[in-house]
Amino acid sequence: MDLALNVSRKLAHLRLQDAQASVQSDKEMIENLVIAEGGFDLVNLTLIESVREVLQAVQYSFTRTMQNLETDLAFWLSV
């Protein structure tokens, strides 16, 4: 869960148009691919939506795990 949160925090502020590459031709290739997929705004938005979906899945999983633990503890406290 910590990993998902840390990665999500970084991705939440990512702007592909600000990304750098160690080789200029790689940067140009990536920029051309982004433009071919609808442009920076669209790809940034798609990335943010994906991060949000992952965070929702992590939250759901965490909530279920906590509920199961509470149920287990309640059982042992009632014995």
Is 12 a member of any domain?
no
Is 17 a member of any domain?
no
Is 14 a member of any domain?
no
Domain tally, the chain: 1
Angstrom distances, CA of residue 39 to CA of 8, 9, 46, 70: 22, 23, 11, 47
pLDDT digits (tens, 9 = 90+) for 30-74: 999 999 999 999 999 998 899 889 889 989 999 999 999 999 999
Print the domain residue range for 47.
25-79
Model pTM above 0.75: no
